[in-house]
Amino acid sequence: MTQQRQAIAQLEQALQSSRAQIAAQADQAQAIASLKQAHADLQQQYKLQGDRLRALEAQTHQATGVASIGEFYLNRWRKY
């Protein structure tokens, strides 16, 4: 009987250990999924910021062109 109780106790301990490992693996899987989602979100933000930067650069180039035309006419007007 004592050997059976010891065997049962060992099996119960092994079962608890297995459950703890499964729980830890589930936590790791959730953490990995969370990190993957955060990575995807960051990639999306990076893309949006890049698009916005390109649009702002285009506006800057356009404004620079308009400013140079205005400066040209201002300098021309100053001559008179």
Q: How far apart are CA 38 and CA 46, in angstroms?
A: 12
Residue type for position 7 = A
Span 21-34, average pLDDT: 95
Question: Residues 29-74: pLDDT tens digits?
Answer: 999 999 999 999 999 999 999 999 999 999 998 888 878 887 877 7
- Check: pTM over 0.85? Answer yes or no: no
